[in-house]
Amino acid sequence: MRTVAVTKIGSLRDPDDDTRGRIGVVDFPEQELGAEDVRIRVAYSAICGSDPHLAEGFFGTDVPIGLGHELSGVVEALGERAHRNGLQVGDRVAGNFLRFCGTCRPCQEGRQQFCEHIQDYNRPGMAETVTWHESQVYKLPDDVSLLKGCLLEPTSVAVRIADKTNIKVGDRVLVCGGGPIGQLVLQVLKIHGATSLTMVEPIAERREMALRHGAQHVIDPLNEDQNARAAEITGGRGYDVVVDASGSVHAVAGLLDLAAKGATIVYGAMYPEHFALPLNLSGYLYLKELTLTGVFVSPYAFPRALQILPHLDVDELTRAIFPLEDAVEAFAAHVSGQHPKVVIRCNDLEEEAA
């Protein structure tokens, strides 16, 4: 079964051909269909900003490392006991690449993100098929196409980020980073009643995309004084909710100064393993009472992501589509940043409806 994988550890951005990380299409054995499992013929699998981190060996260095956790497809086979949620062969689905076991202590305590068996079913979905536990699989609404459906997982991340902001209607909101997660967060928080909604993003096309989808203000951090702009937009108070979706070590430190007293800052990206953020405890935690938090994975968010996805305008995120055999070119396009997001078509599954 053809699967897109990291075949050599290294940065995909390394200019030196000898040390650069590599992506390839590898033949993996098809996973066994357990009694509670669902086999999905994958339609679309999107490249995530975290995939290059995997190529750098963030989660392990034994290659090949299969990729793909943002996918949609059609149910091809069901295990004999995979009938708890009414899935049928032929259903159009998407899902969570992680299975929460439900049995370990963190799962029982309502903190599934810390499930001790979280990796047991983490199988690569940038492949012809993927076999997941039934609890990971969600039927797509009729008005969500397979192409849009591959954004269910990143939408679940935006939902979880929204949860962690503790946003209230009318809060002033700033989102840093106009990549796919930042754009999804922007739209989700807009629906949540965000005001003074501002996107900080150095790339002009991404700022324009944000303005087309609900941002009231955009700030170019390279050519504008972001503190002065934020003060002007918020009447000198700062933002009640600040979300980082950039993962950029250059961007994150300055966000503390854009936050209002009592604000919540969600660091909603992956960061370099050894990067440390200096934090003035007196200024930011004592005097300003900021709440700083992050997001690892998105438990309890998928059912709501499924509800909100039809209300999001995300066509611009799924325009760059490459066939599975061109995965190397697809990753080159992703790394170049020329598209807001890159999607891989794993099988040509005709869209009947939607």
* Nearest residue (CB) to Zn ion, 126 versus 308: 126
Q: Minimal distance in Å, beta carbon 48 to Zn ion?
A: 3
Q: In terms of CB distance, is 115 or 210 closer to Zn ion?
A: 115
Does residue number 301 form part of the binding site for Zn ion (CB under 5 A)? no
Q: In angstroms, give the least distance from the CB of 213 to Zn ion.
A: 20
Place of tokens 């005097």: 287
* No. of helices (H) and no. of strands (E), the chain: 10, 16
Alpha helices (runs of H) in the chain, residue ranges in sequence order: 51-55, 105-108, 146-149, 152-165, 180-191, 204-212, 226-234, 249-255, 302-308, 327-336
Number of chain positions touching Zn ion (CB under 5 A): 5
Kindly state the smallest distance separating residue 102's Cβ from Zn ion, in Å.
Answer: 6
Nearest to 139 by CA among 45, 48, 75, 66: 75
Spell out the alpha helix ranges (H) of 71-223.
105-108, 146-149, 152-165, 180-191, 204-212
As measured in angstroms, the least distance from the Cβ of 37 to Zn ion is 17
C-beta of 107 vs 147, nearer to Zn ion? 107
The 103-122 contact track toward Zn ion, x by CB under 5 A, reads -x--x-------x-------
C-beta closer to Zn ion: residue 107 or 161: 107
Q: Of the listed pieces 29-37, 42-50, 248-256, 323-331, which binds Zn ion according to CB under 5 A?
A: 42-50
**50 noted as active-site residue:** yes
Binding status of residue 344 toward Zn ion by CB under 5 A: no
CB atoms within 10 A of CB 44: 27
- The catalytic residue among 11, 45, 53, 334 is 53
Structure tokens at 81: 């006991």
In angstroms, the Cα distances linking 219 to 32, 234, 289 are 50, 13, 25
Binding of Zn ion at residue 185 (CB under 5 A)? no
For 99, phi then psi, to 5°, come to: -105, 130
Instruction: Restricting to residues 43-102, name those near Zn ion by CB under 5 A.
Output: 48, 101
- List of residues contacting Zn ion (CB under 5 A): 48, 101, 104, 107, 115
Catalytic residues: 50, 53
